[in-house]
Amino acid sequence: MEFTRKWHDHYPDEIPPSLEYDEKPLHAYLVESAKTYKEKKALYFLGKEMTYSDLYAESKKMASYLQSLGVRKGDKVAIMLPNCPQAVISYYGILMAGGIVVQTNPLYKERELEYQLNDSDTSVIICLDILLPRVTNVKIKTSLKHTIVTGIKDYLPFPKNLIYPFIQKREYNMVVKAEQSADTHVWKLLMEKSSGEYLETEINPKEDLALLQYTGGTTGYPKGVMLTHFNLTSNVQMCEAWLYRSKDSQEVVLGVLPFFHVYGMTTVMNFSIKQGSKMILMPKFSAGDVLKTIHKQKPTLFPGAPTIYVGLLNHPDLKKYDLSSIEACLSGSAPLPLEVQEQFEKVTGGKLVEGYGLTESSPVTHANFIWSNRVNGSVGVPWPDTDSKIFRMDSAGEEEEVGEVGEIAVKGPQIMQGYWNNQEETDNVLRDGWLFTGDLGYMDENGYFYVVDRKKDMIIAGGYNIYPREVEEVLYEHEAIQEAVVAGIPDPYRGETVKAYIVLKEGAAITEEELDEYCRKHLAAFKIPRLYEFRDELPKTAVGKILRRKLIDEETEKQKENTTIV
């Protein structure tokens, strides 16, 4: 089959199919923005603002201090922080020092933390004070030499900085006081002590790693995705091209997505620093707090995930807040239900479009056009310089016909170098320059792509292939349902059976029988859920992606417990 980029026919004139990319280190964007937008606000955090010149100065201090601890080119430094000024300062400070950032989820338990630190051979970690006991407990079992400790209060305005320790004690039932020592370093003290003079390290953007980003690890151990400076800068520039109406330094970007996830890191943090935009940092998602922040701070760009938009739309006080400042939202990490898209656009007056990507692709590879040629239900088309194909699942190297479901593969400058210390898994997914995503989908005759489901999530019940996303779309259209996820659970007769996990909207009520009747009107008989479970909430990742695998594991454990051996 001849390979053609049909999607280029639909590109608006403002988006070039190919870009000229910067061949510079990622941290060069901060250096440049600090010169160009010296006194412009770079960050807003719970009432505290920081200019670009201040952010640059603090990042230089971090780079200098890290080098004084022995960090050299290629050394790994972990960041275990929520969205706060310290997360941004640490990230760019590590890169300036020549180090490689290892993003670490603050929700990790000791077992997960120990694995990641050992796998990455991390020598320094920068963590929140309430996480220090967790880090201390695993330190002896890892290669860690130094711990840098900070607290939310370190960048809060007066009097919030005085009040916060009492809030922390109430919320977490702990107050940790870090003491400076040979291997433990207190953030405020090091910032006072550091000269800010650091040794600039020569970086080859296309070869040198900027980031080890660990995948979620829903099956097996997490894998360290190796992303170079060029992988990350190219994806930022693609993002900039896609948002062609965006004006340098004029945007206000809402940072709800966590920066320890590659999606928030690229579309909020790195994009904002490149553009000289102002970032609003939110350490955790709370629908009420986000609504208040939008109302007061007037963000224009709001990258998010479907569960975030759902949470806002279902907040009882939604109508009290003005969300009209929002001009564009790119939704990722999970399928965007059409009803959610339409409702959010009606409330804000802005555009909300679905995109697609993976940790292994820095992360974005596809998106719908924001201001033209949008196709609802599709994840859009490949970004500039990004190719995509649908490969047949039952044969190696053969491309699938238009409209037929197969495995999505992508190629482009944003694609990872491979998995850290894991050549076998690298060879499984990188073939002839193509990244095989493990996602099932198809391309239509116009070059628009559709994600059907994860290869591993496809349900085979009684010989039929059932894609959870299709069933979920139907459930989301029901007025009583706030969130829904569908999974295939073990069934001795059918192999697997379809089960739906449902969260109802506040005050809504519906029975299993009523849901079954509703589904029968919209789905073929073999796709209808055989089981329903109503829950107060669903398990999610930090970016709001519903953990289907966790529900399946719970179900398998339940079945084991209920099995009697005769």
**Rounded to the nearest 10 degrees, how much is the dihedral formed by the CA atoms of 97, 98, 100, 103?**
30
Q: Report d(CA 206, CA 293) in Å as an integer.
A: 38
pLDDT at 373 over 50: yes
Q: Is residue 538 one of the residues assigned to a domain?
A: yes
Count of domains for the chain? 1
Predicted confidence at residue 206, as pLDDT, reads 97
Q: Is residue 177 one of the residues assigned to a domain?
A: no
pLDDT at 565 over 70: no
Strand partners, 354: 331
Q: Which residue has the higher pLDDT, 552 or 49?
A: 49
Do the beta carbons of residue 550 and residue 539 sit within 8 Å? yes
Predicted confidence at residue 217, as pLDDT, reads 45
pLDDT per residue as tens digits for the range 117-165: 999 999 999 999 999 999 999 999 999 999 999 999 999 988 888 787 7
Q: Is residue 393 one of the residues assigned to a domain?
A: no
Computed over every residue of the chain, the mean pLDDT equals 92
Q: Is residue 553 one of the residues assigned to a domain?
A: yes
pLDDT at 321 over 50: yes
Q: Report d(CA 268, CA 301) in Å as an integer.
A: 9
Taking alpha carbons only, the member of 536, 542, 465 closest to residue 501 is: 536
pLDDT at 479 over 70: yes
Q: Is residue 88 one of the residues assigned to a domain?
A: no
Predicted confidence at residue 219, as pLDDT, reads 43
Q: Would you place residue 392 in the very low, low, confident or very high pLDDT band (cuts 50, 70, 90)?
A: very high
Q: Would you place residue 395 in the very low, low, confident or very high pLDDT band (cuts 50, 70, 90)?
A: low
Q: Report d(CA 79, CA 86) in Å as an integer.
A: 9
Q: Is residue 219 one of the residues assigned to a domain?
A: no
Entry pTM: 0.86
**If 0-12 CB within 10 Å is exposed, 13-18 middle and 19+ buried, where does residue 126 land?**
buried
pLDDT per residue as tens digits for the range 172-221: 777 778 889 999 999 999 999 999 999 999 999 999 999 999 985 444 57
Q: Is residue 39 one of the residues assigned to a domain?
A: no
Predicted confidence at residue 480, as pLDDT, reads 94
Do the beta carbons of residue 29 and residue 270 sit within 8 Å? yes
Lowest-confidence segment of 2-6, 63-67, 369-373 by average pLDDT: 2-6
533: CATH: 3.30.300.30
For residue 198, CA distances in Å to 33, 76, 477 come to 19, 17, 56
Q: Would you place residue 564 in the very low, low, confident or very high pLDDT band (cuts 50, 70, 90)?
A: very low
Q: Domain containing 532: what range?
A: 458-562
* Pair of tokens at residue 425: 């898994």
pLDDT per residue as tens digits for the range 82-113: 999 999 999 999 999 999 999 998 988 888 89
Q: Is residue 510 one of the residues assigned to a domain?
A: yes
Query: Cα angle at 359 between 81 and 222, to 5 degrees?
Result: 70
Q: Would you place residue 2 in the very low, low, confident or very high pLDDT band (cuts 50, 70, 90)?
A: low
At a CB cut-off of 8 Å and minimum separation 6, what does 325 contact? 252, 294, 298, 299, 300
Residue ranges in 69-210 assigned as alpha helix (H): 85-96, 110-120, 132-139, 160-172, 187-193
Q: Would you place residue 459 in the very low, low, confident or very high pLDDT band (cuts 50, 70, 90)?
A: confident
Q: Report d(CA 444, CA 313) in Å as an integer.
A: 31
273-291: string of b/e by CB count within 10 Å (b at 16+)?
A: bbbbbbbbbbbebebeebb
Amino acid at 236: V
Predicted confidence at residue 493, as pLDDT, reads 66
